[in-house]
Chain A
């Protein structure tokens, strides 16, 4: 690494703003990650063990299984959109504030 300005990294992670960012981000990301993994694996597990449910016709010949598979795409997009909105509105602002303080202070 090229010599960066001297930044007290322990002070950064002890900063209350960093603690807030860390707490909110961690909770949010863990929740979304667990939800998306569980929702994804429901599809193959259901296809193997709940075939009768997958065969139920819902919309003409379109059955539950097909709609469930399509919903995986919608859910993935919604998660991406939801995360980037929250990150853009909240996490980025906190991160930029912290960065501004310490990059200036250390240089």
Chain B
């Protein structure tokens, strides 16, 4: 770290501050007069993490320092960092939101995100620590042809990271805009620059600490909220839930979800229904498919895999997963209270009014618990939760960019371009930094270009590709003697192509014809509905008139949406791949693409034998089980 670098770091910090404070404001969840509170909390978190980056930057001298913090992270630290890397805004805000809108199904959804770590713990973490170095390709290249492995591994890592990154950047931009009203583009750039400052100067050391700090803040914020929500009930689960299902706002939400079938249900039955399955998940096969992608995909996520190279031994890798499971699982249990608490206190409809996906459940609950929208404490708590959400996005994005940059610099540049020749450490670090800037710039560009796109399914797609391509390849190269270069190449290609291909022909993609037909139906039905409302308004019955006014507002909203949809699909008849309707009816490809990925590795290995893969099997198998030379592997 030179003086010049340090000066850059300071300028970067100043730049982010300037961008944040000079930003153009629109209406956000935080009221104008309390916005300074949010920025104060933001500034405190940014200052703390920047100071750590400044300290970390002095320690980044070699490629090992940059990619893996020199392998010097402890199991406990790594456990927190994994939690910080994994608990993205989607799980922090998304799952609480899902529970606040759909009750039981939202909670059931969170289970898969934790169970995923059993796969990581039992079959992936320790072997990868024992034979790996910096990247996913390092594991594959140990016994299979290095050049091929680095090419297919890097492509897969970049694909998975880009999907995940796009979802984070777009989701983050929308989130910051909704919370504090900063322009979408400016929030995307702010997230990008801040993340670049951490990764560029502090490498894995700074990224690790940013993730640890964010995870600790997240847990503290959630614990405080849950205490406030649960304490009035003497920490009794049935008493708390009794109050949730007895709430008219919750009962009204269930009635609107069930539609006609709710007509014969009592208020108590409607409330109880909130604790029963089926309000969100309609297709069990789709749900199982999603579960498979989560449970097998996490073990193939490059930014999670990379975290196991930062600890010195297999024992520390194991310890880090156990800690991560305690933190992540504990957090999801807290989310149960956040989601149900928000449904009771704020109300599902009020939450959806701010953000249709329900993402504002947690922040709005914080505001309510602090004393409401007009109180100082309420706004302080909203500000704190908003700042944590911002830190969450930055920390996850930093991990993703580091993983993608390592694939470019370490696998493609050093491994393929230099063909494994010795590249001086300084040149390796420079390559890593250049790759970081390239990936960071790409993330910002994609984030801005994808404005307004529905990217929610991209996270599920990233998991599906990781489960269908990376997971079978890593698992079989570690545990199957006959696994060969041909098998891995075929597995990577088939897993990625099938998962992406099925998604492109699935209901996730927009089908203009279907959109137009649905919109037309709304517009066609409008006159009849409008006259019915007019009749009700003219009837003189106060109750009927009140209902009619509500119906009128809903109708206006539906018509506006239908008109917008019509304009969006104007002149288009088919989806981006030229289809009129989905070929594949599931939203999640995992149930097909994961078995096909495994099959491709098996077939490819049996068809194309590879002497090197087989000759090195005893070495790989002995090392992954015993850790022989593992400690030495980190020191060179």
Contact = CB atoms under 8 A, between A and B. Distances in A.
Tell me if chain B binds chain A.
yes
Interface of A: 1-2, 4-5, 7, 9-10, 12-13, 18, 21-22, 25, 29, 32-33, 36-37, 40-41, 43-45, 47-49, 51, 54-55, 57, 59-63, 65-66, 69-70, 72-73, 76-77, 79-81, 83-84, 87-88, 92, 95-96, 98-99, 102-103
A13 B322 contact: no
Given A12-B618, A29-B123, A54 B277 contact: yes
21 contacts: A13-B618, A18-B622, A25-B625, A32-B118, A32-B122, A40-B111, A44-B284, A45-B284, A47-B104, A47-B277, A47-B278, A47-B287, A55-B272, A59-B238, A60-B241, A66-B275, A72-B111, A92-B315, A95-B627, A98-B628, A99-B628
B368 interface: no
B115 A80 contact: no
Interface residues of B, number: 54
A54 B276 contact: yes
Interface string B134-178: 000000001000000000000000000000000000000000000
In the A-B complex, list the 4 residue pairs whose CB atoms are closest, starting with the nearest. Answer: A60-B238, A48-B284, A47-B277, A9-B618
Contacts of B114: 72-73, 76
Given A41-B291, A77-B326, A99-B626, A33 B108 contact: no
Given A44-B291, A45-B288, A60 B625 contact: no
A40 B112 contact: yes
B315 A60 contact: no
Given A33-B119, A45-B288, A103-B629, A61 B622 contact: no
A59 B245 CA distance: 14
Given A62-B237, A83-B122, A10 B626 contact: no
Contacts of B618: 9-10, 12-13
B117 A95 contact: no
Nearest to B277: A47
A103 B626 CA distance: 11
B625 A21 contact: yes
B625 A65 contact: no
B242 interface: yes
Contact of B329 (A76, A87, A98): A76
B118 A33 contact: yes
Given A48-B278, A61-B242, A65-B277, 20 more contacts: A5-B629, A21-B625, A21-B626, A22-B625, A32-B122, A33-B122, A36-B115, A44-B281, A51-B277, A55-B272, A60-B238, A61-B245, A66-B107, A69-B107, A72-B114, A72-B115, A80-B121, A84-B318, A95-B625, A95-B626
Interface in B186-231: none
B556 to A, nearest CB: 36
Contacts of B105: 47
A98 to B, nearest CB: 5
B95 to A, nearest CB: 13
Given A9-B619, A25-B625, A44-B288, A61 B118 contact: no
A68 to B, nearest CB: 9
Contacts of B288: 41, 44-45
B455 to A, nearest CB: 24
Contacts of A59: 237-238
B620 to A, nearest CB: 9
Interface of B: 104-105, 107-108, 111-112, 114-115, 117-119, 121-123, 142, 237-239, 241-242, 245, 272, 275-278, 281, 284, 287-288, 291, 295, 314-315, 318-319, 321-322, 325-326, 329, 332-333, 618-619, 621-622, 625-629, 632, 636
B123 A63 contact: no
Contacts of A103: 628-629
A22 B622 CA distance: 9
Contacts of A79: 118
A87 B127 CA distance: 13
Nearest to A63: B275
A53 to B, nearest CB: 10
B329 A77 contact: yes
A80 B237 contact: no
A10 B626 CA distance: 14
B242 A83 contact: no
A36 to B, nearest CB: 5
B119 A73 contact: no
A20 B333 CA distance: 39
Given A13-B622, A29-B123, A47-B281, A76 B325 contact: yes
Nearest to B284: A48
B322 A18 contact: no
Contacts of A40: 111-112, 115, 291, 295
A51 B118 contact: no
Given A40-B115, A61-B275, A33 B284 contact: no
A9 B622 contact: yes
Nearest to B329: A73
B118 A76 contact: yes
B111 A80 contact: no
A44 B632 CA distance: 45
Contacts of A95: 314, 625-627
Given A10-B618, A32-B122, A66-B107, A76 B115 contact: yes
A56 to B, nearest CB: 10
Contact of A61 (B241, B291, B322, B625): B241
Contacts of B332: 73
Contacts of B278: 47-48, 51
A21 B115 CA distance: 26
Contacts of A5: 629
A85 to B, nearest CB: 10
Contacts of A44: 108, 281, 284, 287-288, 291
The interface centre, meaning the residue of A41, A44, A79, A87 with most chain B CB atoms within 10 A of its CB, is A44
A80 B325 contact: yes
A40 B241 CA distance: 24
A43 to B, nearest CB: 6
